[in-house]
Protein backbone atom coordinates (compact mmCIF):
# COMPACT_ATOMS: atom_id res chain seq x y z
CA UNK A 1 0.00 0.00 0.00
CA UNK A 2 1.23 3.56 -0.77
CA UNK A 3 2.41 5.44 2.29
CA UNK A 4 0.84 8.83 1.56
CA UNK A 5 -0.32 10.51 4.75
CA UNK A 6 -2.75 13.32 5.54
CA UNK A 7 -3.67 15.39 8.55
CA UNK A 8 -7.33 15.12 9.52
CA UNK A 9 -8.78 17.04 12.44
CA UNK A 10 -12.19 16.86 14.11
CA UNK A 11 -12.86 20.50 15.03
CA UNK A 12 -14.30 21.59 18.41
CA UNK A 13 -17.93 21.41 17.17
CA UNK A 14 -17.36 17.85 15.92
CA UNK A 15 -15.91 16.83 19.27
CA UNK A 16 -18.75 18.52 21.21
CA UNK A 17 -21.36 16.86 18.98
CA UNK A 18 -19.90 13.41 19.55
CA UNK A 19 -18.83 12.88 15.93
CA UNK A 20 -15.25 11.69 16.53
CA UNK A 21 -16.17 8.00 16.30
CA UNK A 22 -18.33 8.55 13.21
CA UNK A 23 -15.50 10.36 11.39
CA UNK A 24 -12.92 7.72 12.35
CA UNK A 25 -15.30 4.99 11.22
CA UNK A 26 -15.76 6.55 7.78
CA UNK A 27 -12.00 6.70 7.15
CA UNK A 28 -11.51 3.16 8.48
CA UNK A 29 -14.36 1.71 6.44
CA UNK A 30 -13.05 3.36 3.27
CA UNK A 31 -9.80 1.45 3.82
CA UNK A 32 -7.50 4.02 5.41
CA UNK A 33 -5.29 3.37 8.39
CA UNK A 34 -5.02 5.54 11.51
CA UNK A 35 -1.33 5.93 12.37
CA UNK A 36 -1.38 8.75 14.98
CA UNK A 37 -4.08 10.48 17.04
CA UNK A 38 -4.41 12.80 20.00
CA UNK A 39 -6.98 15.05 21.63
CA UNK A 40 -5.58 18.58 21.91
CA UNK A 41 -6.89 21.89 23.24
CA UNK A 42 -4.80 24.08 20.95
CA UNK A 43 -3.60 27.61 21.78
CA UNK A 44 -4.56 30.62 19.65
CA UNK A 45 -0.87 30.95 18.70
CA UNK A 46 -0.74 27.35 17.45
CA UNK A 47 -3.96 27.81 15.47
CA UNK A 48 -2.72 31.06 13.94
CA UNK A 49 0.24 29.07 12.65
CA UNK A 50 -2.00 26.28 11.33
CA UNK A 51 -4.14 28.83 9.45
CA UNK A 52 -1.34 31.28 8.56
CA UNK A 53 -2.32 31.22 4.85
CA UNK A 54 -5.70 32.70 5.82
CA UNK A 55 -4.31 35.57 7.91
CA UNK A 56 -5.69 38.30 5.62
CA UNK A 57 -9.25 36.93 5.58
CA UNK A 58 -12.10 38.67 7.38
CA UNK A 59 -13.12 35.45 9.11
CA UNK A 60 -9.59 34.72 10.44
CA UNK A 61 -10.06 36.00 14.02
CA UNK A 62 -13.44 34.23 14.37
CA UNK A 63 -11.97 31.03 12.93
CA UNK A 64 -9.09 30.99 15.42
CA UNK A 65 -11.47 31.75 18.32
CA UNK A 66 -13.80 28.90 17.31
CA UNK A 67 -10.90 26.48 16.88
CA UNK A 68 -9.51 27.43 20.31
CA UNK A 69 -12.91 27.07 22.01
CA UNK A 70 -12.43 23.39 22.90
CA UNK A 71 -10.42 20.27 22.20
CA UNK A 72 -9.88 18.95 18.70
CA UNK A 73 -9.04 15.41 17.62
CA UNK A 74 -5.81 15.56 15.59
CA UNK A 75 -5.08 12.52 13.44
CA UNK A 76 -2.72 11.19 10.79
CA UNK A 77 -4.33 8.86 8.25
CA UNK A 78 -2.41 6.78 5.75
CA UNK A 79 -3.17 5.04 2.48
CA UNK A 80 -3.47 5.31 -1.28
CA UNK A 81 -4.29 8.87 -2.43
CA UNK A 82 -5.44 9.69 1.13
CA UNK A 83 -4.89 13.47 0.81
CA UNK A 84 -7.30 13.85 -2.11
CA UNK A 85 -9.72 11.15 -1.01
CA UNK A 86 -9.72 12.47 2.56
CA UNK A 87 -11.06 15.78 1.22
CA UNK A 88 -13.69 13.86 -0.73
CA UNK A 89 -14.80 12.08 2.44
CA UNK A 90 -15.05 15.44 4.28
CA UNK A 91 -17.04 17.15 1.50
CA UNK A 92 -16.93 20.75 0.27
CA UNK A 93 -15.71 23.39 2.76
CA UNK A 94 -19.12 25.08 2.80
CA UNK A 95 -21.55 22.41 4.03
CA UNK A 96 -24.34 23.91 1.92
CA UNK A 97 -22.32 22.77 -1.10
CA UNK A 98 -21.26 19.42 0.40
CA UNK A 99 -22.83 16.37 -1.21
CA UNK A 100 -25.00 14.16 0.99
CA UNK A 101 -22.95 11.12 1.93
CA UNK A 102 -19.93 13.25 2.82
CA UNK A 103 -19.20 14.08 6.44
CA UNK A 104 -20.06 17.78 6.10
CA UNK A 105 -22.95 17.00 3.77
CA UNK A 106 -24.46 14.73 6.40
CA UNK A 107 -23.73 16.65 9.60
CA UNK A 108 -23.22 20.39 8.96
CA UNK A 109 -24.95 23.47 7.52
CA UNK A 110 -22.60 26.36 8.40
CA UNK A 111 -19.14 27.08 6.90
CA UNK A 112 -18.03 28.44 10.27
CA UNK A 113 -19.02 25.16 12.00
CA UNK A 114 -17.95 22.59 9.45
CA UNK A 115 -16.74 19.95 11.97
CA UNK A 116 -13.56 18.73 10.28
CA UNK A 117 -10.36 19.71 8.54
CA UNK A 118 -8.27 17.86 5.98
CA UNK A 119 -4.96 18.80 4.34
CA UNK A 120 -5.39 20.10 0.79
CA UNK A 121 -2.10 18.80 -0.68
CA UNK A 122 0.72 16.37 0.08
CA UNK A 123 3.07 19.25 0.96
CA UNK A 124 0.62 20.92 3.33
CA UNK A 125 -0.11 17.52 4.90
CA UNK A 126 3.60 17.16 5.72
CA UNK A 127 3.71 20.67 7.20
CA UNK A 128 0.53 20.16 9.25
CA UNK A 129 1.61 16.76 10.56
CA UNK A 130 4.91 18.28 11.69
CA UNK A 131 3.11 21.24 13.31
CA UNK A 132 0.65 19.09 15.27
CA UNK A 133 2.78 16.04 16.02
CA UNK A 134 6.37 17.33 15.81
CA UNK A 135 9.09 16.75 13.24
CA UNK A 136 9.52 13.19 14.51
CA UNK A 137 5.86 12.26 14.12
CA UNK A 138 5.22 9.21 16.31
CA UNK A 139 3.23 7.29 13.73
CA UNK A 140 2.66 3.61 14.37
CA UNK A 141 3.46 1.27 11.47
CA UNK A 142 1.40 -1.89 11.52
CA UNK A 143 -0.04 -4.36 9.07
CA UNK A 144 -3.73 -5.24 9.32
CA UNK A 145 -4.78 -8.57 7.95
CA UNK A 146 -7.53 -6.77 5.97
CA UNK A 147 -5.02 -4.52 4.16
CA UNK A 148 -4.32 -7.10 1.48
CA UNK A 149 -8.07 -7.03 0.63
CA UNK A 150 -8.36 -3.24 0.30
Contact flag: residue 101 with ligand RTP (CB under 6 A): no
Q: Is 117 in the active site?
A: yes
* Coil/strand/helix, residue 2: coil
87 annotated ligand binder: yes
Contact flag: residue 16 with ligand RTP (CB under 6 A): no
Contact flag: residue 63 with ligand RTP (CB under 6 A): yes
CB of 46 to ligand RTP, least distance (A): 15
Q: What DSSP letter does each residue of 45-84 carry, written as one string? A: HHHHHHTGGGTTSTTHHHHHHHHTSS-EEEEEEESTTHHH
Contact flag: residue 89 with ligand RTP (CB under 6 A): no
Contact flag: residue 114 with ligand RTP (CB under 6 A): yes
Contact flag: residue 25 with ligand RTP (CB under 6 A): no
* Coil/strand/helix, residue 116: strand
CB of 136 to ligand RTP, least distance (A): 24
CB 35 within 8 A of CB 140: yes
Residues 6 or more apart from 57 whose CB is under 8 A from it?
63
Signed CA dihedral, 42, 137, 130, 5: sign only: negative
11 annotated ligand binder: yes
Binding-site ranges for ligand RTP (CB under 6 A):
54, 59, 63, 93, 111-112, 114, 117-118, 120
Tell me the catalytic residues: 117
Amino acid sequence: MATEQTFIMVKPDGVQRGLVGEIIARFEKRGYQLVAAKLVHASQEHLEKHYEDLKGKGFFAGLVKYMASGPVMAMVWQGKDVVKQGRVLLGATNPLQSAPGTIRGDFAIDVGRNICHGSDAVDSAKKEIALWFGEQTPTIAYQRSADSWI
